[in-house]
Amino acid sequence: MSSELESRLDGLLLDAPEPEPEAGERALARALSALAPPVPRSRRRLRLAVVVVAAALFLLALAAGSLAAAGALHVSFGHARRRPPVELRALALPPGAAGLAVVVDGRLSVVTRSGFRLQGLPVSAAGLSPHALYVAAGVSNSLVAMRPDGHQAWSHQVGGRVVAIAWAPDGLRIAYVVRTSRRLVLRMIWGNGTHDQAIERSVRAVTPSWRADSLAFAYVGAGGRAVVYDLFHRTRSVVAGSPPDVSQVAFAPTGTKLAALGSHKALVGKTRLRTHFELQGIAWFGRAIALVGRRGQLEPVRIAGRVDSFAASGKIFAALVTGRSTRVVAGTTGRYTTVLSLPRRARVESIDVSG
């Protein structure tokens, strides 16, 4: 990413809302209002206990309020997950990659070339910006963006659970899908957390894919077909020849060619692919298409073991490999390493790599 683009991003993020200075005062007022009125002298011990508890609640509310106002966190209380999270080792960055993000059992681990490292954050979805300058994640009922240096983060309440996130190649917009109480809604927001808008009120829970020029992106409509939204003309068009049950869409890293994967076939541009194995994943590996079969075959990349999911950015890839062991490997075709070892019971929900 050029220095000019970084300057544009920094300029956008300077417009993001600052923390509210009244957050602490509001938390204190709520804590004080919860205190009981004066009581007889004989009940001093009970009153002291109430004061201690209220003070503790105030400190908790103040900390949470400050984080929420700063755009770093929205706090909600509910039932804890019955299944304990898997204990993970530190995520390693593969040679040549700018960043790597993995969501395992609802917890995000990130490592970037700049030295940023995050491990164990509860999220519903996550996505790296180009060159891993930022990471966006669904946290509680918000879309949160974090910068590796910890500054200029923002948080935007979305009224539901974020299930898919995709940054535009120029880093200036994000397309994301929110699960509300009734439906899945496709939305788009600027890279500084402003100008949020709904694009489609009913879609499938599939990660959108941006065109190389950042002026259009593909998604899967409620009917299961691939759709392209054009930002300049603000139009939507169903992809001609799209399979009726698309599970994945992927624009080529250059040009305008789109790949759409159905349960039994794939469409790349205007060409229908025929394979000797049933497909379960598709991604662009440079200018070539990488195909993952139901039994873990992967073409044209060769990896020892069964491949269950695959992601790529340029000539850098990351893949979930199972078999005798469960692990995430990343690198290039001629040189890849294990970047994360996992217990068999771990559930890898997403992998994102930035070159």
For the stretch 139-169, pLDDT in tens is: 999 999 998 665 668 999 999 999 999 999 9
pLDDT bin (cut points 50, 70, 90) of residue 101 is very high
Mean pLDDT, rounded, for 169-191: 96
**Three-state secondary structure readout of the chain:** CCHHHHHHHHHHHCCCCCCCCCHHHHHHHHHHHCCCCCCCHHHHHHHHHHHHHHHHHHHHHHHHHHHHHCCCCCCCCCCCCCCCCCCCCCCCCCCCCCEEEEEECCEEEEEECCCCEEEEEECCCEEECHHHCCEEEEECCEEEEECCCCCCCEEEECCCEEEEEEECCCCCEEEEEEECCCCEEEEEEECCCCCCEEEECCECCCCCEECCCCCEEEEEECCCCEEEEECCCCEEEECCCCCCCCCEEEECCCCCCEEEECCCCEEECCEEECCCCCEEEEEEECCEEEEEECCCCEECCCCCCEEEEEEEECCEEEEEEECCCEEEEEECCCCEEEEEEECCCCCEEEEEEEC
Q: State the chain's mean pLDDT as an integer.
A: 79
Rounded Cα distance, 194 and 102, in Å: 26
* Cβ 102 vs Cβ 340: under 8 Å: yes
- What digits encode the pLDDT tens for the residues 161-175? 999 999 999 999 999
| Cβ pair 71, 316 in contact under 8 A | no
Assess contact for 144 and 131: CB atoms under 8 A: no
Q: How confident is the model at residue 73 (pLDDT cuts 50, 70, 90)?
A: very low
Which residues on neighbouring strands pair with residue 111, listed in sequence order? 100, 117
pLDDT tens, residue by residue, 252-280: 999 999 999 987 788 999 998 877 777 88
pLDDT classification of 247: cutoffs 50, 70, 90: very high
**99-354 has which CATH code?**
2.130.10.10
Q: Which of 63-67, 308-312, 326-330 has the lowest mean pLDDT?
A: 63-67
Task: Judge residue 186's burial from the number of C-beta atoms within 10 Å of its C-beta, 0-12 exposed, 13-18 middle, 19 or more buried.
Answer: buried
Of the pLDDT bands very low, low, confident and very high (cuts 50, 70, 90), residue 24 is: very low
Tell me the average pLDDT across 3-19: 50
Residue 9 has pLDDT above 90, yes or no: no
Tokens of 75: 């706090």
